[in-house]
Amino acid sequence: MIDINLIRTNPDLVKENIKKKFQDKKLPLVDEVIELDAKKRALQSEGDNLRAMRNTLSKQIGGLMKEKKIEEANAVKAQVSRNNLRIDEIAKEQEEIEAKLKKDMMSIPNIIAPEVPVGRDDSENVDREHFLEAKVPDFEIPYHTDILERLAGIDIESARRTSGQGFYYLTGDVARLHSAVLAYARDFMIGKGFTYCIPPFMIRSDVVSGVMSFEEMDGMMYKIEGEDLYLIGTSEHSMIGRFMNTILDEKQLPLTLTSYSPCFRKEKGAHGIEERGIYRIHQLEKQEMIVVCKPEESCEWFEKLYHYTIELFVSMGIPVRALECCSGDLADLKYRSVDVEAWSPRQKKYFEVGSCSNLTDAQARRLGIRYKTDKGNVFAHTLNNTVVAPPRMLIAFVENHLQADGSVEIPEVLWPYMGGTKVIVPKR
């Protein structure tokens, strides 16, 4: 949610930003917000005047009663009653206007960064940087589930019987590899000075609406029937929600946190052959990084965060690239976003394994996250980034470390987490 003062003072900038995101249907919201805001302030002024008048008239009543001017006192009382009725009407009107105003404000997208390329969708994202050489071996690389099955590491058929489409069992060395990568990612971020957290895996609706747009909520979140609780789609949701309606001490900032959680997602829509297997599933585990900082620090932190993910993947010998998300691919709360994509030697292309976002103060305004300064309370900036998200990361891992004999080599950084295992050999 952007600052309403920006809409008041520079509506053309807000409209131009909406056009850059190809959301022209939202253009009328800007004028509607201006109109609603004017009504709200007029009602507030009228209400304040009536309350002040009521105080004055109430004092007059006492004086008139002392002077035995009963008829005049009753006339003033009648005026007070009329004023009270109008004050009640104003309160009701204000409540309705504020609800509509909030809904409109939460639908208007955050202002995007100057660096963001203008484009309609992810096909117009811009390639920024590459890390490690993207290689294609001289032997055929099977589909990732075929590789994992030969390693006796996955059972999708049984998961279909127990849970349906979009679930899996990981077993044996592959399951251990999955956990090893998460443990390594946790320690990697702790080594960067981040505080490790395990958050609640369910959150209330007021947190959900604070951390994401209505469209995202509908497309991602599972609701717990009969309760005001949602399963988290990423630990960022509950991690940022932790600071809802709080005023932080300026000395606490920046808050740098890394969190582990399972994640649950609807993943609506049909997907192509490359998104079967464990690419798009309803349940995953993830190591995340979250930063709450001062406004002047968020751009620097943004660069740091996605480079941490790149450093992690490079340390595991997986080639990656950074992709600047274009305006049409940015979620409404995002100021800027970079996707980290890993190389798939089987497909001979990159695919997304993480996303880093700077939301400036958009989330903080929705959730009421501020910090105290000598000049008053200021909205903080929030950022989030995927450290690593198995099992999708496993696709890149097994493809890039697959050997001609079907075995998968384990990079040295993971040996301690694999009990010294240096290679996973086929069982089938």
List, in order, residues 6 or more apart from 115 with CB less than 8 Å away. Answer: 324, 336
Does 318 reside within a domain? yes
pLDDT at 284 over 80: yes
CA-based nearest residue to 348, from 42, 136, 37, 146: 136
CA-wise closest residue to 174 among 149, 141, 143, 142: 149
Side chain identity at 168, as an amino acid letter? Y
Encoding tokens for residue 155? 């059972």
**114 in any annotated domain:** no
Residue whose token pair is 């001017």? 69
Answer yes or no: is 112 within a domain: no
Find the helix packing angle between 11-20 and 27-66, rounded to 10°. 140
Whether residue 289 sits in one domain with residue 179:
yes
The vertex-321 CA angle with 266 and 306, nearest 5°, equals: 70
- pTM of the complete model: 0.88
Are 195 and 308 contained in the same domain? yes
Quick one: average pLDDT of 323-329? Answer: 96
Q: Which residues contact 195 (CB under 8 A, 6 or more apart)?
A: 255, 256, 257, 258
Give the chain's domain count: 2
Supply the CATH number for residue 98's domain: 1.10.287.40
Whether residue 301 lies inside any domain: the answer is: yes
Residue among 59, 117, 54, 128 nearest 84 (CA):
54
173 plus 95 within the same structural domain: no
Residue pair 108/2 in contact (Cβ under 8 Å)? The answer is yes
Q: Pick 218 or 373 by higher pLDDT.
A: 373
What region, left, alpha or beta, does residue 200 occupy, with left being phi > 0 and alpha being psi -120 to 50 degrees? Answer: beta
Q: Where are the alpha helices (DSSP H) in 262-368?
A: 298-315, 362-367
What's the pLDDT tens digit per position in 191-248?
Answer: 999 999 999 999 999 899 888 766 677 778 889 999 999 999 999 999 999 999 999 9
pLDDT for residue 273: 41
Are the C-beta atoms of 259 and 288 separated by less than 8 Å? yes
Identify whether residues 129 and 18 lie together within a single domain.
no
Of the listed ranges 104-108, 207-211, 267-271, 407-411, the least confidently predicted one is 267-271
Whether residues 97 and 154 fall in one domain: no
Where residue 355 sits, what CATH number does that domain have?
3.30.930.10
Q: Which of 66, 81, 107 is the last residue of a domain?
A: 107
Query: 94 with 131, same domain?
Result: no
Domain region containing 12: 4-107
DSSP E strand boundaries for 9-145? 126-131
- At residue 237, what is the residue type? H
Question: Rounded to 5 degrees, what are φ and ψ at 174?
Answer: -70, -40
Cα Rg of the chain, angstroms? 28
Is 393 a domain residue? yes
CA distance 362 to 381: 8
User: Does residue 287 have a pLDDT over 90?
Assistant: yes
Q: What is the mean pLDDT of residues 141-145?
A: 92
Count the Cβ atoms, other than its own, within 10 Å of residue 205.
14
Which tokens is 377 given? Answer: 């309370």
Q: Cα–Cα distance between 232 and 201 in angstroms, integer?
A: 6
Same domain, 167 and 84: no
Any domain includes 152:
yes
Per the omega criterion (within 30 degrees of 0), is the bond before 254 cis? yes
φ and ψ at residue 245, rounded to 5 degrees: 55, 40
What DSSP assignment string belongs to 208-229? Answer: HHHHS-HHHHHHHPEEPTTSS-
Q: Are residues 217 and 274 in the same domain?
A: yes
From the list 130, 148, 139, 149, the residue with the least C-alpha distance to 398 is: 148
Q: Are 398 and 148 in contact (CB under 8 A)?
A: yes
Is residue 272's pLDDT more than 70? no
8 Å CB contact between 233 and 264: yes
* Dist. CA 262–CA 284, nearest whole Å: 6
User: Domain boundary residue among 78, 107, 136?
Assistant: 107
113 found inside a domain:
no
Across 250-260, average pLDDT: 96
Q: Are residues 57 and 197 in the same domain?
A: no
CA–chain centroid gap for 184, Å, is 24
pLDDT above 70 for 269: no
| φ and ψ of 68, to 5 deg | 65, 25
The domain boundary, picked from 42, 75, 107, lies at 107
Share above pLDDT 90 across residues of the chain, in percent, rounded to a whole number: 78
**pLDDT at 151 exceeding the cut of 90:** yes
CA-to-CA distance for 413 and 421, rounded, in angstroms?
11
Identify which has the larger pLDDT, 54 or 382.
Answer: 382
Same domain, 206 and 354: yes
Does 115 fall in a domain?
no
Instruction: Provide the CB-side half-sphere exposure for 195 (13 A, CA).
Output: 11
Q: Are residues 57 and 198 in the same domain?
A: no
For 321, what's the count of Cα atoms within 13 Å in the CB-facing half-sphere?
16
273 in the same domain as 308: yes
Is residue 105's pLDDT more than 60?
A: yes
